[in-house]
């Protein structure tokens, strides 16, 4: 069964690997496509014929200089030809008729000036008017070695015969200039944006991604020191981040020679650290190869440092071939392990290293052609190309990082499974103990509360109840007798705990009507009872049942005790969607409500209404009538009172 599962896992991982590789190649082809400088004929003007003057002078003195200009064809590389200057002037002739469709004659057309690659920067003039600058020409000098240069200018600057002057700056006489492209800004700006996106913006994003990946791997190693593959993966990520940074960095943080030494070392360090990472993750021991590779890496440190500027371009190509050979060796080791173990990880490394090897060879050959002039005649084939290693490697790093995360999770799961059964038993025992403890605690609390309530009920019944009953029979005053009877009824409810139960609203209304009818009849007052909408299955909570009963008694007691010559009481109850309204109206009010002194009874009514989340109102009616009304929210289907105040 386990063999079937392993075969299935290998198949799934193989499918994922092939999909990832296909996605990588598709992304690579897309980047090549959107950054292409193949220009449709008739829409763009490409200027490749120019004259060059290797002098670092200002534009004002250029016209008076007697030195002869030399004809050149763009792309043009200084190399050793102009070794003694840091600036070269280019002069290009532009007849107005050479522009596409004569659009330059229209004053509202905005034109674009575009160079897709140059080393290092340039300032541009059109007919004596400066139209753009590539940035600082001193130290640190701006760098456009891996990014395009673009300026815009109005058509009003154009004449029948136009002259473009370009002052091209570079260090150590190692400049290069590609052909100049002119077109309307509407056509040329998207071309510039696409190539700038690939060469600058994508490189910036990859730099951040690789650096964050390295920091994550270093954090994992910091907490798991024995698994050194995470440390080497972090070192490889940091080294590659320096290489990615070099692709888009406009101004160097150090001098150019130091930076060139640092970037060359980072490429070899990346190859070495990646080799050690693969060995550690595959559990392969090659101590002799590792020592030889380390010696090779250390030898490059002084070699790059002490080589002259012109020597280092040849040295880094030869020396980086040694780094590529490390990739070939790791590929052969991984392939041998796959044949021996039939595991997916060695095969995965084979594919990843093959991709990086292809990208590395491409970049090495491109630099040899463009910078060193190797393979004469092959330069035109690389004009559209850009460095690819920093595009391929981060994707591979992402896949390898995913592999590391999977290995890390698998190892943690394996460790956790050793204690899973014990933890489950402890958890079940702890849960049982907690449940038993809670049950005992709840029983004790309920028992204690029940005993205390029973004691209070007995005391109320035996002491206060008997005294109220005696007081009721001894009182001759009708109002005092009514008050005593009301208090006695409240006490009976408390002792019997009748009002502490939730019930249907219609049942509660029947109880209230019976009680109110008896009290009003004893007082010799007429009663009008009117209800509406209480026939449904509306439930009252315990709190609502208790509070509404007491409020109704309080209002009835106030009407019977304080009204003079009262003859009639009207009680109206109505249920609307979500609310219950109760209104008690009686005549015989001694004076208007505004002249009443607010006593405890009215205050209690307001407090009880507020506790139920409702609204309370008392107002005069025509004649000597007064109305007391309150409206409260009813419980929803889930039993929660709408808008009820939760405080006690």
- 461-507 tens-digit pLDDT: 556 655 665 665 565 665 556 656 666 666 566 555 544 556 788 88
| DSSP class of 538 | P
pLDDT in tens, 410-438: 777 777 777 787 888 888 888 888 888 88
- Are 522 and 612 in a shared domain? yes
- What is the rounded CA–CA span in Å between residue 532 and residue 581? 10
- What is the rounded CA–CA span in Å between residue 560 and residue 587? 10
Residue 431 maps to a domain: no
Residue 16 maps to a domain: no
Residue 79 maps to a domain: yes
- What is the rounded CA–CA span in Å between residue 164 and residue 132? 12
- Are 374 and 231 in a shared domain? yes
- Are 280 and 392 in a shared domain? yes
Q: Structure tokens of 359?
A: 């990208």
What's the sign of the alpha-carbon dihedral 193, 196, 201, 202? positive
- Are 541 and 610 in a shared domain? yes
Among 383, 400, 418, give the residue marking a domain's end. Answer: 418
Range of 301's domain? 224-418
Residue 441 maps to a domain: no
Residue 217 maps to a domain: no
Q: Which residues contact 347 (CB under 8 A, 6 or more apart)?
A: 14, 17, 334, 335, 338
Rg (CA), the chain: 47
pLDDT in tens, 297-350: 888 888 888 877 667 777 877 788 888 888 899 989 988 988 888 777 787 788
- Are 242 and 332 in a shared domain? yes
Band of residue 565 on the pLDDT scale cut at 50, 70, 90: confident
Residue 483 maps to a domain: no
- Are 285 and 390 in a shared domain? yes
Residue 33 maps to a domain: no
- Are 186 and 102 in a shared domain? yes
Among 367, 391, 418, give the residue marking a domain's end. Answer: 418
- Are 230 and 185 in a shared domain? no
For 134-165, b/e burial (b = at least 16 CB within 10 A) is: bbebeebbbbbbbbbbbbbbebeebeeebebb
CA-based nearest residue to 581, from 509, 516, 648, 638: 509
- Are 414 and 531 in a shared domain? no
Cis amide leading into 120 (omega within 30): yes
pLDDT in tens, 527-542: 999 998 887 778 888 8
Among 379, 397, 418, give the residue marking a domain's end. Answer: 418
Residue 160 maps to a domain: yes
pTM above 0.85, yes or no: no
* Domain at 510, CATH number: 3.30.565.10
* Domain at 172, CATH number: 2.60.120.260
pLDDT at 92 over 80: yes
Q: Which residue has the tokens 């990208």?
A: 359
- Are 112 and 164 in a shared domain? yes
- Are 177 and 311 in a shared domain? no
Structural domain count of the chain: 3
- Are 52 and 186 in a shared domain? yes
| CA–centroid distance for 509 within its chain | 58
């Amino acid at each position: 069964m386990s063999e079937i599962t392993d075969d299935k896992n290998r198949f799934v991982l193989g499918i994922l690997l092939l999909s990832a590789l296909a996605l990588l190649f598709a992304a690579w082809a897309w980047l090549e496509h959107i950054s292409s400088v193949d220009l449709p004929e008739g829409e763009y003007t490409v200027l490749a014929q120019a004259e060059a003057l290797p002098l670092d002078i200002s534009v004002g003195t250029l016209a008076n200089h007697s030195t002869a200009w030399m004809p050149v064809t763009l792309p043009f590389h200084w190399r050793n030809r102009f070794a003694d200057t840091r600036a070269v002037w280019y002069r290009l002739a532009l007849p107005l008729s050479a522009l596409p469709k004569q659009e330059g004659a229209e004053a509202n057309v905005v034109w674009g000036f575009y160079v897709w690659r140059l080393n290092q920067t340039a300032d541009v003039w059109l007919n004596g008017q400066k139209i753009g600058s590539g940035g600082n020409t001193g130290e640190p000098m701006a760098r456009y070695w891996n990014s395009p240069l673009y300026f815009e200018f109005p058509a009003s600057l154009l004449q029948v015969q136009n002259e473009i002057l370009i002052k091209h700056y570079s260090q150590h006489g190692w400049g290069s200039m590609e052909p100049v492209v002119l077109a309307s800004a509407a056509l040329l700006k998207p071309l510039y944006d696409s190539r700038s996106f690939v060469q600058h913006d994508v490189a910036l994003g990859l730099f951040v991604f690789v650096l964050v990946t390295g920091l994550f791997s270093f954090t994992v190693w910091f907490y798991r020191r024995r698994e050194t593959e995470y440390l080497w993966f972090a070192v490889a990520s940091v080294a590659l981040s320096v290489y990615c940074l070099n692709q888009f960095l406009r101004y160097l943080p150090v001098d150019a020679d130091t930076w060139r030494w640092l970037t060359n070392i980072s490429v070899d360090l990346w190859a070495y650290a990646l080799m050690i990472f693969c060995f550690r993750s595959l559990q392969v021991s090659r101590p002799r190869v590792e020592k030889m590779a380390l010696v090779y890496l250390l030898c490059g440190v002084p070699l790059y440092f002490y080589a002259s500027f012109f020597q280092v371009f040849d040295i880094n190509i030869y020396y980086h071939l040694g780094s590529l050979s490390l990739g070939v060796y790791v590929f052969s080791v991984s392939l041998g392990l796959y044949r021996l173990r039939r595991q997916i990880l060695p095969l995965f490394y084979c594919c990843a290293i093959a991709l990086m090897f292809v990208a590395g060879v491409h970049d090495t050959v491109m630099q040899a052609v463009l910078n060193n002039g190797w393979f004469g005649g092959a330069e035109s084939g690389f004009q559209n190309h850009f460095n690819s290693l920093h595009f391929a490697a981060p994707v591979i790093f992402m896949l390898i990082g995913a592999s590391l995360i999977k290995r890390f999770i698998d190892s943690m799961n394996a460790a956790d499974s050793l204690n899973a059964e014990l933890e489950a038993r402890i958890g079940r025992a702890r849960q049982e103990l907690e449940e038993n403890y809670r049950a005992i605690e709840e029983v004790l609390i309920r028992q204690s509360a029940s005993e205390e309530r029973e004691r209070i009920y007995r005391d109320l019944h035996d002491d206060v109840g008997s005294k109220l009953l005696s007081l009721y029979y001894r009182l001759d005053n009708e109002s005092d007798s009514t008050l005593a009877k009301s208090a006695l009824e409240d006490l009976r409810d408390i002792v019997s705990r009748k009002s502490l139960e939730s019930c249907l609203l219609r049942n509660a209304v029947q109880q209230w009507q019976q009680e109110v009818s008896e009290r009003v009849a004893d007082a010799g007052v007429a009663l009008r009872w009117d209800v509406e909408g209480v026939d449904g299955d509306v439930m009252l909570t315990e709190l609502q049942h208790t509070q509404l009963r007491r409020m109704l008694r309080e209002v009835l007691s106030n009407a019977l005790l304080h009204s003079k010559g009262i003859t009639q009481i009207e009680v109206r109850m109505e249920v609307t969607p979500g609310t219950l309204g109760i209104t008690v109206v009686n005549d015989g009010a001694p004076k208007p409500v505004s002249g009443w002194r607010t006593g405890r009874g009215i205050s209690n009514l307001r407090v009880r209404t507020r506790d139920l989340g409702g609204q309370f109102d008392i107002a005069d009616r025509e004649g000597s009538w007064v109305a007391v009304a309150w409206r409260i929210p009813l419980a929803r289907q889930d039993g929660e009172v709408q808008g009820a105040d939760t405080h006690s």
